[in-house]
Structure 1
Amino acid sequence: MKNGHERKSSVRVVHVTTVHHPFDPRIFYKQLASLRDAGFDAHLIAPHERSERVNGIPIHALPIPSSRGARLALQPKVFRMAGALDAALYQIHDPELLPLAFLLKRTIGARVVYDMHENYRSKGALLGRGLRALERWAFRWVDHVLLAEESYRSIVDGHAVPHTYIANYFRPIGGEDPVDAVEISETPTRLLYTGTLSDSRGLRTMVDLAAQIRRADRPETLDLVGVCHRDHQRIQVEEQVRSEGLGAVLERTGWDTYVRPSAMPPHYCRADVGLALCEPHPNHMGSLLTKFYEYLHYGLPIICSDFPRWRRFVEQHECGAVVPPGEPGAVLDVLDAWQAHPERYRECAENARAAAPQYRWETMGERLVNLYRRLLNDSSLKEPVTGSR
């Protein structure tokens, strides 16, 4: 968001997470950066190697947990750290922190905003029900809920909680060359995936795609940029890469380490096509991946799994193609068609660039800042809360 906010504020606001990386794009580079730009005293509490100030935003480091149990054990420390900052508003990014947020609201009278990143019904019968129960309880007293997806409205329907849709649109990190200056390739051969890697997000399909490219001696290469948190899946992929000699086709950046968004632009600028070959998981089928907006910004035609919502997006903008999940051969069929008819590929790339301005973060940043101002302009900000509503 541009620095178009004339009115400045010295109000302290704190975002809290024990699940997400401190440089999670939605949290750090979009929401906190927009609040900082608007003049808020914006802070972040998150697992990190050390406390530091980055881009004008203080990060208060928590120990990096090795398991869910270790994460839950951090809560007393989180509560003390958050309370010491004495903020007017706390934004919570993880449902497991909602009880802690309630205590902050009761003890210091702060506003509480809950950012719903996921539909937690997909987390399994026991965990999913537990997280949903926490959310339903929080809807009785939380001041506002942010929805990362339109489809999450069904979760808050029937509850009196105020809520706002804050889409995870694209925001450049800074220092990037104008995308229009990047020449569109005549032969799309450089394939890219960015983001968290796992089998449900298409890792196995993409490795099988690389194997088919290698066996057919095709010209394509595949660049996977992101972290794979699942050790057994990394081991399986590494064994396949070694046994099938895929090193010349498949490049991995990050892999066992988080890749900061600031390191992503060179990968986008070198690529010809953006991939999203996820398996049919409810969280994928019910949402648009953030990478869609990023691919559009860099003029990358999208090849993605054929889910109804994804198909509508691609067909609306005429910016790519959909393929059956788990079928790497279908990806090669699309590439063959584009290589045989370069004008079709170029049209998709141009359409991607043309669609990108619809999905810029600026409008969402303005929406978030205006929401904060409304919440913090209310009276009795610091009066202790006597009960839930």
Structure 2
Amino acid sequence: MEQGNALHSPTRVAHLTTVHHPFDPRIFHKQLAALRNAGFDAHLVAPHERTERVHGIPVHALPRPQNRAHRLALQPRVFRTARALGAALYHVHDPELLPLAGLLKKTTGARVVYDMHENYRSKGALLGRFLRALERWAFRWVDHVLIAEQSYRAIMEDHARPHTYIPNYFRPIGEEPPAAPVDISSPPTRLLYTGTLSDGRGLRTMVRLAARIRGADRPETLSLVGICRYPTQRARTEEQIRRGGLGAVVDRVGWDTYVRPSTMPPHYRQADVGLALCEPRPNHVGSIPTKFYEYLHYGLPLICSDIPLWRRFVDRHECGAVVPPNDPAAVLDVLDEWQAHPERYRQCAENARTAAGQYRWGPIGKRLAGLYRRVLPDNVPELSTTESR
């Protein structure tokens, strides 16, 4: 590759995305924070209201795109912004940015890391094939690939490319005190779902669950904390809540706006049970939801869809129950059992808290910083002791 502009610093690295929120937990609060604490000059190029420094990390603002066409139209600006940074390494989070990353590598001599967040082949026949083709092309020249799930190893083995598993383990945001033990003095009635909301992620099932709770005059409540990016699904759900009188059962936080991770702890602390009632779609069956690790941290037993990988997780840690997908009655059966036998619920909560220690971000952040040192051509600072969680 020919080299163009000189690198500003052998420790300057830049993460690029036009798809993800600038304060996406994996990108900003885990990876960039770990790199900052390890002594890297870590930057982010992403859609944001303004260019600013947040928690010591410079955020270089791009306009917020409204759709994929707008994102593609942003690419020249992304390239100019990224190239002007003169980073020694560019870390790309979206497959559609891979051609831009290839151009950065060719014109600057920088290293390129590609972060595979999803199995994009599951995005539908046409789009999925296109994104996988982009990845296959990039695997010929990218310096390293990060995979967010163990199941993606099969993709990488087909291409014999160097790759590293960087899971989305839990990292507390800010100086948060340790989570208090779950209050088991009363039956588990406060149900919580966190994360992006959609029918595929269980939205329709959770509304049906709320309707059953309302119809049977049960004591449970359901908090949905996250954004639903689909206006038609939001409108349908709002009408179902209004028509069914479910306002006293369902609480929506965020809904049409992104919920920042720093605002999440109170919702976990006020809950008794964590839900993950996703449909068994291709991208779910090979992935452990990040919310599992978050629920465990707060000692929340799980009730999740009976997906083989998820069942193995719950069975291994004895931290909850699995139910058939799209079956709200089965969720109520689990709650009835826990309410009739509180010692079983208590044991699941204790097991969840015990298991949480296996899924802390701290060692993964060190793994990421070590990888950067191996990929970069020059010596970089040793890991600081500030990244301990």
TM range (shorter): over 0.9
Q: Which secondary structure does the structure 2 equivalent of 1:224 belong to?
A: strand
Name the counterpart of 1:314.
314
Supply the distance in 2 between the matched residues of 1:180 and 1:23 (Cα, whole angstroms): 26
Supply the distance in 2 between the matched residues of 1:178 and 1:205 (Cα, whole angstroms): 32
**Is there any run of 5+ residues in structure 1 with no aligned partner, and where?**
1-8, 380-389
- Does structure 1 conserve the Cα–Cα contact (< 8 Å) formed by 2:228 and 2:256? yes
Q: Deviations over 1:189-215 (max 9, x none)?
A: 000000000000000000110110001
Name the counterpart of 1:154.
154
CA RMSD, 1 decimal: 1.1
Aligned length: 371
Name the counterpart of 1:382.
none
- Does structure 2 conserve the Cα–Cα contact (< 8 Å) formed by 1:148 and 1:165? yes
Supply the distance in 1 between the matched residues of 2:75 and 2:90 (Cα, whole angstroms): 15
Name the counterpart of 1:231.
231
Counterpart code for 1:315: D
Matches within 5 A, 1:128-143: 128-143=128-143
Name the counterpart of 1:373.
373
Name the counterpart of 1:289.
289
Matches within 5 A, 1:96-245: 96-245=96-245
Taking only the aligned residue pairs, the percentage that are identical comes to 76
User: Structure 1 residue 167: deviation in Å?
Assistant: 0.6
Q: Which secondary structure does the structure 2 equivalent of 1:45 belong to?
A: strand
- Does structure 2 conserve the Cα–Cα contact (< 8 Å) formed by 1:140 and 1:160? no
Q: Which secondary structure does the structure 1 equivalent of 2:365 belong to?
A: helix
Q: Which secondary structure does the structure 2 equivalent of 1:179 belong to?
A: coil
Name the counterpart of 1:48.
48
Q: Which secondary structure does the structure 2 equivalent of 1:322 belong to?
A: strand
User: Structure 1 residue 176: deviation in Å?
Assistant: 2.0
- Does structure 2 conserve the Cα–Cα contact (< 8 Å) formed by 1:185 and 1:272? no
Name the counterpart of 2:29.
29
Supply the distance in 2 between the matched residues of 1:14 and 1:51 (Cα, whole angstroms): 14
Name the counterpart of 2:251.
251
Matches within 5 A, 1:335-350: 335-350=335-350
Name the counterpart of 1:387.
none
- Does structure 2 conserve the Cα–Cα contact (< 8 Å) formed by 1:10 and 1:39? no
Q: Which secondary structure does the structure 2 equivalent of 1:145 belong to?
A: strand
Name the counterpart of 1:270.
270
User: Structure 1 residue 185: deviation in Å?
Assistant: 4.6
User: Structure 1 residue 10: deviation in Å?
Assistant: 6.5
Deviates more, 1:109-118 or 1:179-188: 179-188
Supply the distance in 2 between the matched residues of 1:354 and 1:127 (Cα, whole angstroms): 41
Supply the distance in 1 between the matched residues of 2:183 and 2:212 (Cα, whole angstroms): 28
Supply the distance in 2 between the matched residues of 1:190 and 1:267 (Cα, whole angstroms): 10
Q: Deviations over 1:281-327 (max 9, x none)?
A: 01011110000000000000000000000000000000000000000
Counterpart code for 1:188: P
TM-score norm. by structure 1 comes to: 0.94
Q: Which secondary structure does the structure 1 equivalent of 2:332 belong to?
A: helix
- Does structure 1 conserve the Cα–Cα contact (< 8 Å) formed by 2:182 and 2:300? no
Supply the distance in 2 between the matched residues of 1:319 and 1:160 (Cα, whole angstroms): 36
- Does structure 2 conserve the Cα–Cα contact (< 8 Å) formed by 1:12 and 1:87? yes
Supply the distance in 1 between the matched residues of 2:272 and 2:170 (Cα, whole angstroms): 19
Q: Which secondary structure does the structure 1 equivalent of 2:140 belong to?
A: coil
Counterpart code for 1:253: V
TM-score norm. by structure 2 comes to: 0.94
User: Structure 1 residue 174: deviation in Å?
Assistant: 2.0
Name the counterpart of 1:68.
68
User: Structure 1 residue 363: deviation in Å?
Assistant: 1.3
Name the counterpart of 1:324.
324
Counterpart code for 1:279: E
Supply the distance in 2 between the matched residues of 1:276 and 1:51 (Cα, whole angstroms): 35
Q: Which secondary structure does the structure 2 equivalent of 1:369 belong to?
A: helix
- Does structure 1 conserve the Cα–Cα contact (< 8 Å) formed by 2:182 and 2:272? no
**Is there any run of 5+ residues in structure 2 with no aligned partner, and where?**
1-8, 380-389
Supply the distance in 2 between the matched residues of 1:315 and 1:303 (Cα, whole angstroms): 12
Question: Alpha carbons of 1:378 and 1:136: their partners in 2 closer, same or farther (altered >3 Å)?
Answer: farther
Supply the distance in 2 between the matched residues of 1:251 and 1:157 (Cα, whole angstroms): 44
Counterpart code for 1:174: G
